[in-house]
Amino acid sequence: MRRKPKQIRAKRMVDDIIQAGLQCVAKNGLEGTTTRHIADEAGVSVGTLYQYFDDKEAIYQAMIEKARDEIVQSLLAVTPQIVQIDFRSGVLAILHEFSHFLEKDKGRYLKVFQYVGHFEILEHIRVIETQLVQMASLYIMRHPDEIAPERMQVMIYIIMNSGISTLIRYLSDPAPQFSREALMEGLADMAAACIKGDA
Amino acid sequence: MRRKPKQIRAKRMVDDIIQAGLQCVAKNGLEGTTTRHIADEAGVSVGTLYQYFDDKEAIYQAMIEKARDEIVQSLLAVTPQIVQIDFRSGVLAILHEFSHFLEKDKGRYLKVFQYVGHFEILEHIRVIETQLVQMASLYIMRHPDEIAPERMQVMIYIIMNSGISTLIRYLSDPAPQFSREALMEGLADMAAACIKGDA
Amino acid sequence: MRRKPKQIRAKRMVDDIIQAGLQCVAKNGLEGTTTRHIADEAGVSVGTLYQYFDDKEAIYQAMIEKARDEIVQSLLAVTPQIVQIDFRSGVLAILHEFSHFLEKDKGRYLKVFQYVGHFEILEHIRVIETQLVQMASLYIMRHPDEIAPERMQVMIYIIMNSGISTLIRYLSDPAPQFSREALMEGLADMAAACIKGDA
Amino acid sequence: MRRKPKQIRAKRMVDDIIQAGLQCVAKNGLEGTTTRHIADEAGVSVGTLYQYFDDKEAIYQAMIEKARDEIVQSLLAVTPQIVQIDFRSGVLAILHEFSHFLEKDKGRYLKVFQYVGHFEILEHIRVIETQLVQMASLYIMRHPDEIAPERMQVMIYIIMNSGISTLIRYLSDPAPQFSREALMEGLADMAAACIKGDA
DNA sequence: TATGAATGAGGATTCATTCAT
DNA sequence: TATGAATGAATCCTCATTCAT
């Protein structure tokens, strides 16, 4: 209880820097983001950045780890409800959750997800994937008749990637042609149709 | 008739530079690509780059325009067959075509598609989208009973984005969990299920 | 009598810092030495450094003053013997003393002497010079016939600088071509020959 | 003969940068020398520095190699005379040559030699040493009676290091106590006495 | 008195772009 | 038209120094 204050301050500092980084990337893109920008945004000096992170890349790493963890958290939050309801409703719930995550803090996270190439997001997504597969498994155990096990892996992969990518693409679109609700319903339909899968 | 040779040479030059740019990005990523690299790869001097392009960004623009045009071309090539066959087979044909495009020249184009954030690929994708919608329209006109028109727009959007993203994600994966054929079949199933759409 | 303890502690602190500084320079060179390093090595915080020294340069100053004082001390220790024996033996004794000084504490002082350029060592050497001249004077007064007074100043200068530099150069050499003893004997011969000096 | 101009310009550029580097170190010391300074002094931009040198350290390397080569050149120039005359006169000639080298261009080279620690001058001095030993050998072969071969190596080592160091030390001294001529004569005496060496 | 987090000026280096040849 | 040397703004990062605790 003695030296907690420092640790708390440090943790807050780290978080402030991460938030500033997300903010900068959201505002100026990845190329437009400099250490100076991040420092200014975080309200600290450049030097301070380097007291908490080895280099700029480390800040970026922390940023996507933060994003990944938050997604996992918010997905965990909806798990209980999901296993109770039908698959389509479950997917819809997840999509809402994910959509909410991408748009919070003025779309701070959305932009990061567009830099799939730089951030090696794919590796991090695998964590989310695992999480989703577990959720799906829970559901499928309760409804064993709805999908053949051998197709499950591929279809989960498709549903997940499709859901994530399409949502990101839609939210990044400055002038979408239809409502978000329509898209989500469509995606849920897609998912449901996939596991019915009599094709 | 006099200055044709020059124009042809110029066109070849422009194309060489674009190819060199794609090559560099594929090899070193976007951040690892400098004008020097591109010039070397193209076998010309940096100065020459600026004789044909306003700046580096213009080369990048040309790169994705090139990519986009090639996709459209290859899609056009399969159109005739597609309208003859059933929807699922059509989608499968398109997926094969697209997959082939992404992997040709040692995955030269694949990497570019991973930098969705930098290149504003979305705008360019709209061109492909239009193309796909036209193809779909042709098909649907022949099978008017299979999908409600009002859902068509959304479902096409979903199928297209899902197909593209999932394929790119799969091809970028160094250690995928299942065969490419399985994925493509799955995506075709998904597409087919989507337009059956009794969900 | 009250504040003696503090003064003693302070003196010890100052000395610890100086030793840490010498250690760091010996280990990482001058450029590789930061205030942080010195503080760590001394087991204190950077702040403490500045409680005892105005700035980094002041620590360096103290370091060579310390070195200088230690040399002078060790030379004083051999003075009594020197004036008793012949010049060559005296020089040899001094060389041994100096060599011992340069190598103690794992060559801590040796490295410092290699940075003649940065530390303005020459000014500090003058103190040693004076000391040596006094020692020489004592000797010469006892053996007035061995050297012409007018040449003495120059020859002492030469002997001293030559002895110091050559010794440092030799000790810094990772793969010397002959034994240290041979060098010292040679230097002693050189000194002896110098003051015989019938050239 | 076609593309010589460029190579000549490049060679001149490299040399200009080296000279600028020497100038800067002479003026501001090693720590006071920045790439900006060197570029300004050379009348070019920082970028140009990096077109000819990998990094700052490479410029420093080139500087001492340049210095070393020039010394060797100037020593070669006096070799013929030296072997004709007596040893003491030979040493004196070398000292004059070396002294002239150190002072030319306003002592540009002198300062560099003071940073023995940073520049690993010792390795480079070995080249000069070899040169001197060869000169000495030539002399000794003509006067085989003057020194015992087994002592020669050590004495040459001593004479050379002593000569160089003492000269540098003297020239660096802002207020020397005696004339340069006196020092040189003294050093020559020292050398001569050394090889007589009946000690 | 001791701490070490915070500062920010300053340094090395890169690279898109220009322009004289 | 092609070249590639030269430019210098801009970037990342370091580290001596300060100061609130």
Write the pLDDT tens digit of every residue in C119-170. 888 788 888 888 777 777 777 777 766 566 678 889 989 999 999 999 999 9
Question: Is B30 within 8 Å of chain A by CB?
Answer: yes
Say whether residue C111 is in contact with chain D using an 8 A CB cutoff: yes
Euclidean distance between CA atoms D19 and D31, whole angstroms: 17
A 10 A CB-CB count for C50 gives: 15
Whether the predicted pLDDT of B52 surpasses 60: yes
Task: Tell me phi and psi for residue B173, to 5 degrees.
Answer: -75, 120
DSSP state of D197: -
**Contact between A117 and B116 using a beta-carbon 8 Å cutoff:** yes
pLDDT per residue as tens digits for the range B112-153: 888 888 888 878 888 888 888 887 777 777 776 666 667 888
Taking the CA of residue B41 as centre, how many other CA atoms within 13 Å lie in the half-sphere pointing to its CB? Answer: 20
Q: What is the predicted pLDDT for the residue at A146?
A: 61
| C18 vs D141, higher pLDDT | C18
pLDDT at site B145: 65
**Rounded Cα–Cα distance for residues B199 and C40 (Å):** 68
pLDDT of residue B101: 92
Chain D interface includes C101 (CB < 8 A)? no
What is the b/e burial string over A112-151, where b = at least 16 CB atoms within 10 angstroms of the residue's CB?
A: bbbbbbbbebeebbeebbebbbebbeebbeeeeeebeeeb
Residues 6+ apart with CB under 8 A from C22: C63, C66, C67, C105, C108, C109, C112
Give the DSSP H/E element, type plus range, for residue D22.
helix D4-28
**Alpha-carbon separation of residue C156 from A47, B32, B91, D157 (angstroms):** 53, 63, 98, 19
For D199, the closest chain C residue by CA position comes to C189
Quick one: closest CA in C to D87, which residue? Answer: C199
In angstroms, the CA D142 to CA D195 distance is: 14
Do the domains at B1-54 and B63-196 have one common CATH topology?
no
Neighbouring chains to A with at least 3 Cβ pairs closer than 8 Å:
B
CATH class of B1-54: mainly alpha
* B173: closest CA of chain A, how far (Å): 8
C50 CA to F19 C1', in Å? 12
Q: What percent of chain A has pLDDT over 90?
A: 50
At C7 the pLDDT is 81
Strand E nucleotides, any atom under 7 Å from protein beta carbons: they are: 1-20
Contacts of B162 in chain A (CB under 8 A): 158, 161-162, 165-166, 190
Nearest CA in chain A to B110: A117
pLDDT above 90 covers a percentage of chain C that reads: 50
Report the pLDDT value the prediction gives residue B2, as an integer from 0 to 100.
Answer: 47
Of C90 and A184, the one with more pLDDT: A184
- Whether B28 shows a pLDDT value over 60: the answer reads yes
Q: pTM for this one? A: 0.90
**Residue A148 in contact with partner chain B when CB distance is under 8 A:** no
Find the CB nearest D158 among C122, C153, C166.
C166
Footprint of strand E on the protein (CB under 7 A): A 6, 9-10, 13, 44-48, 50-52; B 33-36, 46-47, 49-50, 55-57; C 6, 9, 13, 44-48, 50-51; D 33-36, 46-47, 50, 55-57
pLDDT of residue C5: 57
Neighbours of D44 (CB within 10 A): 17
CB atoms within 10 A of CB A101: 17
Which C residues in the span 39-98 are in contact with D, Cβ-Cβ below 8 Å?
88
Domain boundaries of chain C, sorted by first residue: 1-54, 63-196
CB under 8 Å to C189, separation ≥6 — which residues? Answer: C88, D155, D194, D197, D199
pLDDT tens, residue by residue, A13-41: 999 999 999 999 999 999 999 999 999 99
Which stretches of chain D score pLDDT less than 70?
1-5, 144-149, 197-199
Nearest-neighbour CA in chain B from A90: distance (Å): 14
CB-CB under 8 Å, B186 with A193 = no
> How much is the pLDDT for A199?
45
Please give the mean pLDDT across all residues of chain B: 87
C2 confidence band (pLDDT: 50, 70, 90):
very low
Q: State how far the Cα of A98 lies from the Cα of C48, in Å rounded to an integer.
A: 51
Please tell me the predicted confidence (pLDDT) of residue D199.
Answer: 44
| Strand F lies under 7 A from the Cβ of residue D47 | yes
Using a CB-CB cut-off of 8 Å, the residues of chain B touching A170 are 157
pLDDT at res. A41: 96
**Between C161, C187, C199, which is nearest D158 by CB?**
C187
Residue nearest to nucleotide F7 (CA to C1'): D45
What is the average pLDDT across A111-117?
Answer: 86
Contact B189 A194 (CB under 8 A): yes
Q: In this predicted model, what pLDDT tens digit does every residue of D97-148 receive, in sequence order?
A: 999 999 988 889 998 888 877 887 777 887 887 877 777 777 777 776 666 6
- pLDDT score recorded for residue B162: 94
Say yes or no: Cβ of A50 under 7 A from any atom of strand F.
Answer: yes
Candidates C30, C172, C177; nearest CB to D153: C177
What's the CA dihedral at D128, D131, D133, D137 to 10 degrees? -170
Helix axes B149-172, A180-196, angle to 10 degrees: 70
CB contact under 8 A, C117 and D122: no
Q: Which residue in C154, C165, C192 is closest to D186 by CB distance?
A: C154
Is the alpha carbon torsion for B72, B74, B75, B77 positive or negative? Answer: positive
Confidence of residue A72 (pLDDT cuts 50, 70, 90): confident
Measured CA to CA, the distance from residue C3 to residue C137 in angstroms comes to: 43
Strand F nucleotides with an atom less than 7 Å from a protein beta carbon: 1-20
Round to whole Å and give the CA distance between B38 and B25.
Answer: 9
Give the whole-angstrom CA distance, residue C107 versus residue D117.
14
Confidence bin at A75 (pLDDT 50/70/90) = confident
- pLDDT of amino acid C47: 97
Q: What does the mean pLDDT of chain C come to? A: 87
- Of C116, D102, A197, C107, the C-alpha closest to B186 is A197
Reference C21, options C51, C43, C50, C42; nearest CA is C42
pLDDT in tens, C36-92: 999 999 999 999 999 999 999 999 999 999 998 998 888 888 888 877 788 888 889
pLDDT tens for A140-162 read 777 766 666 678 889 989 999 99
B44 beta carbon to strand F: under 7 Å: yes
Which helix (H) or strand (E) segment is D180 a member of? helix D180-196
Note the pLDDT of residue C121.
81
Touching subunits of C (3+ CB pairs, under 8 Å) are: D
Residue A51 is encoded by which pair of tokens?
A: 């007291």
Q: Is the CB of B45 under 7 A from strand F?
A: yes
Interface contact flag, B157 A183, Cβ < 8 Å: yes
Strand F and chain C: which residues 30-59 have CB closer than 7 Å? 33-36, 46-47, 49-50, 55-57
10 Å Cβ neighbour count for B112? Answer: 24
Is a pLDDT exceeding 80 seen at residue B83?
no
pLDDT score, position C64: 92
Residues of D in contact with C154 (CB under 8 A): 178, 182-183, 185-186
Neighboring chain B residues of A199 at a CB cutoff of 8 Å: 88, 188-189, 192-193
Cross-chain Cβ contact A118/B88 below 8 Å? no
To the nearest whole Å, the CA of C161 is away from the closest chain D CA by: 6
- Asked if strand F contacts D35 at the CB level, meaning under 7 A, the answer is no
Tell me the chain C residues in contact with residue D146 when contact means C-beta distances shorter than 8 Å: none
Dist CA A28 CA A31 (whole Å)? 7
CATH topology of domain D63-196: Tetracycline Repressor; domain 2 (1.10.357)
Phi-psi region of C106 (alpha: psi -120 to 50; beta: other; left: phi over 0): left
Report the nearest residue to nucleotide E11, CA vs C1': D34
DSSP chain C: --SHHHHHHHHHHHHHHHHHHHHHHHHHTTTT--HHHHHHHHTS-HHHHHHH-SSHHHHHHHHHHHHHHHHHHHHHHHHHHHHHS-HHHHHHHHHHHHHHHHHHHHHHHHHHHH-TTTTTHHHHHHHHHHHHHHHHHHHHHHSTTSS-HHHHHHHHHHHHHHHHHHHHHHHH-SS-SS-HHHHHHHHHHHHHHHHH---
Touching partners of B (3+ C-beta pairs < 8 Å) = A
**% pLDDT > 90, chain B:** 50
Residue D124 amino acid letter: H
Contact A159/B160 with Cβ under 8 angstroms?
no
Q: Say if residues C162 and D166 touch (Cβ distance below 8 Å).
A: yes
- Report the gap between the CA of B189 and the closest CA in chain A (Å): 6
Nearest 5 degrees, angle CA A43-CA A48-CA A49? 85
Q: Is the pLDDT of residue A53 over 80?
A: yes
On whether any CB of chain B is under 8 Å from the CB of A175, the answer is: no
